[in-house]
Structure 1
Amino acid sequence: MDPLDLDGHALHLLLAVHEEGSVTRAAQRLGLTQSAVSHALDKLRALTGDALFVRSGRGIVATAQADALVPRARALIDELRAFSHAAGFDPARWEGTITVAANDLQRDLLVPPLLARLQSQCPGVRLRVWPSQAPRPELLRDQGCDLVVTPRPPEAADLVQKRLFQDRYAVFFDPAVRRAPKTRAAYLGAQHISVRYEDGRSIDIDGWLAGRGVQREVVATVPGYAGIAALLRGSERLATGPALLARGVLREFASAPVPVATPAMPMYMVWHLRRQHDPAHRWLREAVEAIAGEALA
């Protein structure tokens, strides 16, 4: 196989199979048949001289060679994008997939208007949303994510961050069952629901309160704010989180100021330095920034 036969579609396919860990899911993501993906993989195997993906149980796993090729494939795709935009970026002609990582608050507040803007101005672009949890630099370096929206930006020299807005913390409760805790004693005397991500890390407010000796009885944790509602409904329990959750997953509950001191909660968008001057990525950042301003106006 002539190396010059390698194109951006083949590189994109390699990334899709690697990220999905499945030929079937990669085919669905790319809008191709499973046989078309398998045929393209065979061509890549012939070019690289490596199996790339091998069976493991009911699924597939990447070989060491595939793991090594993925960062290079991603860099080549970035170069291809820059090449195609060199003569001037036109959002209407932009084609591809944008991957944004965001948790419940950011997802509900920003993603619906972002999708509407993409469909209006960039009809050839598809949007993928991943949970950011407590993001690590690898999410932007190696895992194909274009932009992370988070209150906890990962610290790394090759990442860029910009503050989008600032929220405050509130305490949420079921108003059909109880009233707002107005004193520190009432707040600390209640049972609490909180969030602990799948990697074991807690949300910032929990660590902040614990570090100042504020001891609460946390009777249950869930992997995201969306899981809190079922455990608050019909109970006297409390949950402490960003006030803007009242517009999203906790809209059915009442909220009040937290009767103990809490910090402000800034929200950032974070991206990799290699995308800093990409016209398409600049359009994405400007769109998210504008949407955040409109949402909070």
Structure 2
Amino acid sequence: MRKFDYLALDGHSLQLFLAVLEEGSVTAAAARLGLTQSAVSHSLQKLREIARDPLFVKSGRGIIATGHAQALAEPARRLLDQMQAFAAGAEFEPAKADLDLTIAANDFQRDLLLPTLLRQLQAATRSVRLRAIPSQLPSAEMLRENRCDLLISPVPPTGTDVLQKRLLSDHYVCYFDATMREAPRSMEDYLQAQHITVVYSDNERLQFDKRLEAAGHRREVAVSVPNFSGVPAFLRGTTMLASMPSLLRDSLMRDFAQVSIPLPDVAQQGIGDLPMYMAWHRRVQDDPAHVWLRAQVEIAAITALRDDTAPLQ
């Protein structure tokens, strides 16, 4: 029987193995890593020979991991973490750095912070590749399994190995098309109108909507879309209302009028509050590059708040 030297393993191969496992597709893994499908297939064959297992087998139009591949996932992640710690060094020099980052954020957090963050990183480092993925309802596993380097969300995951920091606080306001209707002036005006809201693709609802319902307020939701960017097309030219973050007023919702939500307990009970956090895994808490990255995210958040100068109508 031919023997394969375990020293033939390398970090790139382990990263590729985990990408295929997490994506469930050679094509998706290749796109994620910026490789060709043939390069991924060639590396997988090498791993199969080392592991003496198929690792992935065809299932319908896709592939599934074998039991042995699933068992290897956690050791592979630990090895990559140890390699990262070994190579981290005591210092980090941004000007000499080539960053490859994955940040999980839904569309509001993504569009508010990440373009500014990218410009900062491009100005300070030698090169940067940024991949933004949706966080949906964030889970600690996204960080534990290294699916992202950082997670930005109003509802960060919890766990003894997950750390977080508040970046900013926003609040919900009521948007409407001023050419079609007047602003809702009372609780009755607001609750009796038809509404547009966001329901993410995993059927997760906005915290605002959950809190409103828990407080006993019932609205007629006429339209739900999977992200905030889908709201303007449905709101324009109608008498509907959309309750969305105030920080969208100068970008996505700039063509609409807005007022405070006319429900007394929205402010009194914090129903309309919208904090934003960043979360990361404990293993990178003291990594110099990650410490620097988190500082850059905080600067981007400060910039977002500073640029939000338009008053409510």
TM band (smaller chain):
over 0.9
Q: Which of 199, 202, 216 is 2:202 aligned to?
A: 199
Cα distance change, pair 143–277 in 1 and its aligned pair in 2 (3 A): closer
Q: Which of 154, 179, 204 is 2:157 aligned to?
A: 154
Cα distance change, pair 198–85 in 1 and its aligned pair in 2 (3 A): same
Tell me the residue number matched to 1:14: 17
User: Does residue 286 in structure 1 map to residue 292 in structure 2?
Assistant: no
Residues 88-129 of structure 1: CA deviation (Å, up to 9, x unaligned): 222234335211111122111101011112222233331111
CA contact (8 A) 1:173 1:180 kept: yes
Q: Which of 62, 65, 73 is 2:65 aligned to?
A: 62
CA contact (8 A) 1:104 1:249 kept: no
Tell me the residue number matched to 1:219: 222
CA contact (8 A) 1:109 1:247 kept: no
1:245 deviates by: 1.9
Structure 1 gaps, min length 5: none
CA contact (8 A) 1:173 1:237 kept: yes
TM-score normalised per structure 1 = 0.93
1:203 deviates by: 0.7
Cα distance change, pair 86–173 in 1 and its aligned pair in 2 (3 A): same
Bigger shift: residues 249-258 or 64-73: 64-73
Q: Which secondary structure state, in structure 1, belongs to the residue aligned with residue 237 of structure 2?
A: coil
CA contact (8 A) 1:92 1:122 kept: yes
Give the partner amino acid of 2:87. Answer: S
Residues 56-85 of structure 1: CA deviation (Å, up to 9, x unaligned): 222222223223323332232222222112
Q: Identity rate of aligned residues, in percent?
A: 52
1:40 deviates by: 0.9
TM-score normalised per structure 2 = 0.89
Q: Which of 90, 93, 98 is 1:90 aligned to?
A: 93
Cα separation, 1, equivalents of 2:105 and 2:305? 17
Tell me the residue number matched to 2:51: 48
1:143 deviates by: 5.3
Give the partner amino acid of 2:288. Answer: P
Q: Which of 119, 122, 125 is 1:122 aligned to?
A: 125
Residues 121-150 of structure 1: CA deviation (Å, up to 9, x unaligned): 233331111111221222222251111111
Structure 2 gaps, min length 5: 307-313
1:87 deviates by: 4.3
Residues 223-266 of structure 1: CA deviation (Å, up to 9, x unaligned): 21122222211110111121112233323222111011322211
Residues 259-291 of structure 1: CA deviation (Å, up to 9, x unaligned): 113222111111111221122211111110111
Give the partner amino acid of 1:272. Answer: H
Bigger shift: residues 190-199 or 114-123: 114-123
Bigger shift: residues 256-265 or 19-28: 19-28
Cα distance change, pair 20–72 in 1 and its aligned pair in 2 (3 A): same
Query: Equivalences for 1:117-196 in 2 at 5 Å?
Result: 117-142=120-145, 144-196=147-199
Tell me the residue number matched to 2:243: 240
CA contact (8 A) 1:19 1:143 kept: no
